[in-house]
A = this chain, B = another copy of it.
Amino acid sequence: MNKRGQAKEGAPLYRQVCEYLLNRIERGEWKAHDKLPSIRALADELQVHRLTVFKACRELADSGKVYVRDKSGYYVSPDHPQEAKADSGKKKIAADYSHMNALSDIHRLPARYQFSQALIDPNLLPNLYLSDYVKKVFDLYPKVMGTYSSAQGDEELRLMLSRHFREKLRLQLAPEELVITSGSQQAINLIIGTFLGPMDAVLVERPTYSVALDLFRRAGVRVIPIEITAEGYDLDRLEHVMQRDKPRLFYLNPTHQNPTGATVPAWQRKRIVELAERYRCLLVEDDPFRDMYFGEAPPPPFFAYDTEGWVIYISSFSKYIAPGLRICAVACREPHVERLIVAKSLADSGTSLLNQKIFLHYYTSSRLQQHVGKLRIALQVHKEIVEEELAGSGWEWTPPQGGLNLWVKVPQAVSVDALFRRAREESISFVPGHICDPLGEMQAWLRLSYSFASEEVLREGTRRLVQLARELDGSCSHT
């Protein structure tokens, strides 16, 4: 992880060359002990600087994929796995999490005490109601299954959402300024594909949503961390970085942040929008937890302070209504909207119309508000159960004002990696903190999601987890 982490601030180009060479090795074009073409030949072929190829070869040598012989060149290492068809048919699930999509790997491990999924317990969702709305949708739109949505998204849905945003959040939004995507993750992907190139600098919160981090890394951008705490960001540092690195965008999740639960105060929101304008940095505001507050409603989104079109607002309320629907709305101004529509049309030519219509009809119902109110209470109870069990354990956290996660620091003597392995054995899952850290550090932290497990499972699992940490702590101090 650390090794990977280093690359992120470096040049992406040599890594592309690495990938290219590795691909050819994996395809068996060069077999074990074959000599690679000369640096000069490769540089000519790929039309890159020789130093770039050199750097790529060094990297491959460092990782053991190739070796150097008598200074005569680079040779393919014998132990490099060929495109083996070993165990074909049987799915191998990696037992560790040093993977391209770390979080997804963790989720694929079954767990009795599921604290790694920042999802709502399906039992808390309005399943019965929803099935009614589906039937209604078929009566209203008998041909819904035979019809594609436009790439931008169903017009009726966008009209409803623009009204909703105006009434609830005082956002002035035309239906033309909304794009419907299949979940917020797709939205982030489309934004990356549309606005970022491999040489761009991107700011992300530290810690942040690990899936977004994976997506940015995969895009080959330079990821620059901005610390987030219960007080928000250090604005001087933020301005300094914006000035120095000219980031193309800042990906932020400023309301009940994942994983910290922090909410950026209103005064900072206003100021950051000004900074974004001055330094021409897009603010990509991911806002899936806004309605899941425990006390007061959070401040308005960054988007509300933006008059110049620098904020792209990702609003993915379907998480706490019907995650299965995968409906997300992206709000932004021209010329960004038009570019996102093109990206969406290329990605999948439009989200399923059925899902959009179901969402539309449920979202406009009075049942929805009742459901959201109940869900807030349920989540707060869940959060308090975990806090009760952690009290007196030596674990530290800042109580979140909303959201689905507790971001916890374990006592110094406990290794989170060791705890993760032990917890896996006991069928307890959580997210190790370093996965959420753009620098791959934060080794003492972990994320506990309290939204998915039932109350009893939550209590029992947290108790067990604390006990496991105690045992590890004890064994450490004795060795």
Contacts and interface: CB of A to CB of B under 8 A. Distances in A.
Contact of A183 (B138, B176, B348): B348
Given A182-B352, A198-B16, A345-B101, A83 B11 contact: no
Contacts of A85: 308-309, 333-335
Interface stretch (A260-268, A317-325, A409-417): A317-325
B211 A47 contact: no
B100 A125 contact: no
Interface string A383-403: 000000000000000000000
A88 B11 CA distance: 36
A333 to B, nearest CB: 6
Interface stretch (A65-73, A144-152, A457-465): A144-152
Contacts of A11: 47
A92 B338 contact: yes
A139 B58 CA distance: 59
Contacts of A377: none
Given A309-B88, A333-B85, A349-B104, A325 B145 contact: yes
B27 A280 contact: yes
Counting chain B CB atoms within 10 Å of each CB, which of A87, A354, A355 scores highest? A354
Interface stretch (A129-137, A250-258, A296-304): A129-137
A347 B151 contact: no
A236 B99 CA distance: 41
A13 interface: yes
A320 to B, nearest CB: 10
Nearest to A333: B88
B348 A100 contact: no
A67 B91 CA distance: 56
Complex copy number for this chain: 2
A142 B125 contact: no
Contact of A13 (B47, B176, B326): B47
Contact of A49 (B48, B87, B104, B177): B48
A24 to B, nearest CB: 8
A145 B125 contact: yes
Contact of A355 (B16, B51, B176, B354): B354
Interface string A172-200: 00101100001101100100000001111
Interface in A338-363: 338, 342, 345-349, 351-355, 358
B127 A145 contact: yes
Contact of A325 (B130, B218, B352): B352
Interface residues of A, number: 99
Contacts of A48: 13, 48-49, 52
Given A47-B52, A176-B89, A197-B23, A101 B324 contact: no
Interface in A395-447: none
Given A131-B138, A176-B90, A185 B147 contact: no
Contacts of A101: 342, 345-346
A350 to B, nearest CB: 8
Contacts of A131: 138, 142, 145
Interface of A: 11, 13-14, 16-17, 19-20, 23-24, 27-29, 43, 46-49, 51-52, 83-92, 99-101, 104, 108, 119-120, 122-123, 125, 127-128, 130-131, 134-135, 138, 142-151, 174, 176-177, 182-183, 185-186, 189, 197-200, 211, 214-215, 218, 246, 248, 280, 308-309, 322-326, 333-335, 337-338, 342, 345-349, 351-355, 358
14 contacts: A14-B47, A46-B199, A47-B49, A48-B49, A89-B174, A92-B338, A100-B342, A104-B345, A122-B143, A125-B143, A135-B135, A146-B322, A185-B348, A186-B347
